[in-house]
Amino acid sequence: MQPGRYTELFFLDEATALAAGHRPCAECRRADYVHFMRLWPGRGADDVDAVLHDERLDGRRRRRHEAEYAELPDGSFVLVDGEPFVVVGDELLRWTAAGYDARRPRPVRARATVLTPPSLVALLRTDRDALVPLLHRSATATPGS
């Protein structure tokens, strides 16, 4: 860590970083950072970080949001029975530190407890071509392989 510079964070994949309420690094992921910032017109990194911080935390507690499953784009994280799952098409994939390891059907008519901050859920709805893959390769692995 470099005091006073930035926080070194590493995530399983882009969807996990967004669910944690973080934007791409301006230094090590410059192209993704520039593209990301274009989606936040008129705001600097400090303003974006402040919005994400407010959406991510309520004091020291993690904020959760509610939304209809049908409204959630791929890459959104939800909480199911106390465990994090990522939305991918008509499925939910259970997150682990090593990758995604279980699948279940995405509910058709239900409300979700959403972990991904609302502004980042909105960003996931946009047409964005990130350099870093949105999901870890385990998300596309064939079950049992």
pLDDT 10s digits, 32-63: 899 889 888 778 899 999 999 999 998 888 89
Average pLDDT, the chain: 88
What mean pLDDT do residues 93-99 have?
Answer: 95
**What pLDDT is recorded for position 128?**
67
Contacts of 83 (CB under 8 A, 6+ apart): 94, 95
Percent above pLDDT 70 for the chain = 89
pLDDT at 1 over 50: no
Every domain of the chain and the residues it spans: 14-137
Do 40 and 26 meet the contact criterion of CB atoms below 8 Å apart? no
